[in-house]
Amino acid sequence: MSLDNQTVAKYLEEIGVLMRLAGENDFKAIAFDRAARTIENLDEAIEEIIAEKKLTDIKGIGKSIANDLYALAETGSIPVLEELNSRVPDGLKQWLNISGMGPKKIYKIHKELGITEIAELKQKCEDGSVAELSGMGKKSAEKILKSIAWMEQFDERCRFDEAERVANMMYEALKNVPGVKKIDVAGSYRRRLETIGDIDILIAADSEDVAHIFDVFTGHEQVVEVLGRGDTKSSIRTKEGRQVDLRIVTKKQFAAALMYFTGSKEHNVVMRQRARDRGFALNEYGLFHLDEDGNTDFEKPKSFETEADIYKELDLNWVPPELREDRGEFALFEEKEHIGLVNDSDIRGVIHAHSTWSDGKFSIEQMARACIEKGYEYLGITDHSKTAAYAGGLNIDKVKRQWEEIDALNQKFSEEGLEFTVFKGIESDILADGSLDYPDDILAGFDFIIASVHSGLELPKEKMMMRFENAIKNPYTTMLGHPTGRLLLKRDGSALDMNRLLELAAKHNVVVEINASPWRLDLDWRFGNKARDLELITSVNPDAHDTEGIDDIRYGVYIARKAKFGKERVLNTLSRDEITEWFTNRKSTKN
């Protein structure tokens, strides 16, 4: 069995979680946690160490864990993991999806109340049983109920990255099937919504090829249930729990069908009315002339090849799918051919990333070299500040030692001939009164500061706005991080007057990040028009805690485009020299 360091670490992490859910000694679970972190941070390939039977040479890997990993390499499974999986009820594992519910808390409630299902947990929170447990209380029970309500509300939806894996899998499986002339993924996925319901795939094919294409689709190895199969549409459910709908149309119908099934409903309503105003009927089959009585004349279709042709016929330039939400796109594209939306290739550097100095999984140098490999010109390292003790926040002594490491690393890169810079940043907690987490003399030493809220997320709107206003007015605040603090499908964002917050940020030249983590995607794209009116600057930030997380930038770019941000309003489209100058100038004018 082929094993990389990250895969092995995930197995060990899972064992640690299941041990806690099973109520086992926490020291055992901690040993697996530490082993996972150790293996993640190894410079060597774990597979080679396993092959040489030298795992116990690694500090923190004892004989028992070593034998577990040898078994994994030889058999593809770990006996202790299989045993734990059989012992821990599946219902209990689902509790891990409830925001704020860690394994220890889950086991405590499970043991003392004898419940395993989410429905039972909900009932026990409602009848006061959970609140009566030691260490819990009424507020804890209320938070659990709120999180469960969010889970129930969004049960049929998933994050974009989860949908992406399924959409890509089915797209790749179908694109080269004989008879497929055109293929695209439509629906909310094509519009880049942050959460997705069903996944809609559209194919153009001749009638004689439809049956075979549906056979391939419904027979895919990931399909667990065929929900329906007709002459033009089939629906399946995958092992991931996602519903995928496949519609097959003729090549002539493809552009109209793609537009229709991309949506949004609101965008389509306006498009259909524009068509009628010009003597046409627009539907999923095409664009047709209206007869004298205003009825659709299906015998008189209007010829077209692409979506752009249909838009042109309705006196519009082509509207990018991300913008099809009836939020001002019609006025824009009546006048403009394009509005210069930011692209992945425009991003020149990585801002907002964590290292092993706080809660990241890789060293600063490892994160930097990963950025270099991906073609970026700089890395803004932003470990947590001292108040975030739960995340290994840096005290002042650690800050100064980290600065020394960054200086030495930049010198090292220069000597290697690499045109790459690591900037000294921090993700400073915004404290209860809106102040930042260090005295001014330390704040002044950073190249930039991201100010974020991580606690007290449920404050009343007035108090939360006061908190943010004070942080925005602080001359050392460069940008706001994940302003609402939401976790998609798990936790609602803080109560904020976002329009007022954006006005304050623009007035004080504070950047508001688009946190590109698919769990957050915050700033919400729905405030894009307001940001555009204010000429607000954003930064598309991965909030990366490991090297893989750097690639989350693309999700942030999707949201930036959906919020109508052009390259000129995205901070990290600046080159290394340009952003160095930007940081320097901002500090000199603010402080």
The single-letter code of the amino acid at 497 is: D
Task: Please state, as a whole number, how many other Cβ atoms lie within 10 Å of the Cβ of residue 438.
Answer: 22
Residues 233 and 371 in one domain: no
At residue 3, the pLDDT reads 78
pLDDT at 199 (0 to 100): 97
Task: Report pLDDT for 329.
Answer: 96
C-alpha–C-alpha distance, residues 451 and 267, integer Å: 36
Query: Helix, strand, or coil here: 28?
Result: helix
Phi-psi region of 167 (alpha: psi -120 to 50; beta: other; left: phi over 0): alpha
Q: Are residues 417 and 454 in the same domain?
A: yes
Residues 6+ apart with CB under 8 A from 92: 21, 106, 110, 116
User: Are 507 and 584 contained in the same domain?
Assistant: yes
Q: What is the CATH number of the domain that holds 187?
A: 3.30.460.10
How far is it, in rounded angstroms, from Cα 246 to Cα 232? 8
Render each residue's pLDDT in the chain as its tens digit; 591 residues: 567 887 898 899 999 999 999 999 888 899 998 898 888 777 778 888 999 999 999 988 999 999 999 999 999 899 999 999 999 998 899 898 887 788 999 999 999 999 999 999 999 999 999 999 998 999 889 989 988 887 776 667 899 999 999 999 999 999 999 999 999 999 999 999 999 999 999 999 999 999 999 999 999 999 988 988 999 999 998 988 889 999 999 999 999 999 999 999 999 999 999 999 999 999 999 999 998 888 888 888 898 999 999 999 999 999 999 999 999 999 999 999 999 999 999 999 999 999 999 999 999 999 999 999 999 999 999 999 999 988 999 999 999 999 999 999 999 999 999 999 999 999 999 999 999 999 999 999 999 999 999 999 989 999 999 999 999 999 999 999 999 999 998 888 999 999 999 999 999 999 999 999 999 999 999 999 999 999 999 999 999 999 999 999 999 999 999 999 999 999 999 999 999 999 999 988 866
Report the C-alpha gap between 484 and 491 in whole angstroms.
10
- Nearest-CA neighbor of 356 among 577, 37, 31? 37
> Longest Cα pair distance anywhere in the chain, in angstroms?
86
Residue that terminates a domain, selected from 153, 177, 212:
153
Instruction: Retrieve residue 227's tokens.
Output: 């929900």
In angstroms, rounded to a whole number, what is the distance separating the alpha carbons of residues 112 and 29? 21
Domain boundary among the residues 153, 168, 197 is at: 153
* Distances 291 to 102, 422, 426 between C-alpha atoms, Å: 64, 66, 66
Annotate 48-72 with DSSP letters as a single string: HHHHTT-GGGSTT--HHHHHHHHHH
What's the pLDDT at 37? 83
Q: Which two tokens stand for residue 222?
A: 């990931």
DSSP 487: B
Q: To which residue do tokens 């001749």 refer?
A: 206
- Cα–Cα dist 310/259, whole Å: 9
Which range marks the domain in which residue 325 is found? Answer: 258-336
In this structure, what CATH number is given to the domain that contains residue 352?
3.20.20.140
β-pair partners for 449: 426
- Pull the structure tokens for residue 132: 């009566």
**What's the residue count for the chain?**
591
Contacts from 296-304 at CB under 8 Å and sequence distance 24+?
301/252, 304/255, 304/256
Residues 350, 326 share a domain: no
* 422 shares its domain with 540: yes
Q: Are residues 149 and 163 in the same domain?
A: no
Strand partners, 394: 385
- Residue 138 and residue 142: Cα distance in Å, rounded? 6
Q: What is the pTM of this model?
A: 0.82
Residues 303 and 432 in one domain: no
**pLDDT value at residue 234:** 96
Last residue within a domain, chosen from 214, 236, 251? 251
CATH of the domain at 94: 1.10.150.110
Indicate the residue type of 542.
P
Same domain, 221 and 112: no
Distance in angstroms (rounded) separating the CA atoms of residues 533 and 565: 11
Token pair for residue 226? Answer: 């065929």
> Which residue type sits at 95?
W
Same domain, 75 and 122: yes
Report CA-CA distances (Å) from 259 to 24, 284, 309, 521.
55, 8, 11, 25
Pairing verdict, β 448-452 and 421-429: parallel
Do 329 and 349 fall within a single domain?
no
Hey, what are 545's tokens?
């805690």
* Domains contained in the chain, number: 4
Query: Are residue 371 and residue 326 in the same domain, yes or no?
Result: no
Burial class (CB in 10 A: 0-12, 13-18, 19+), 185: buried
CATH number for position 320: 3.30.210.10
Q: Based on the fold, state whether residues 190 and 226 are members of the same structural domain.
A: yes
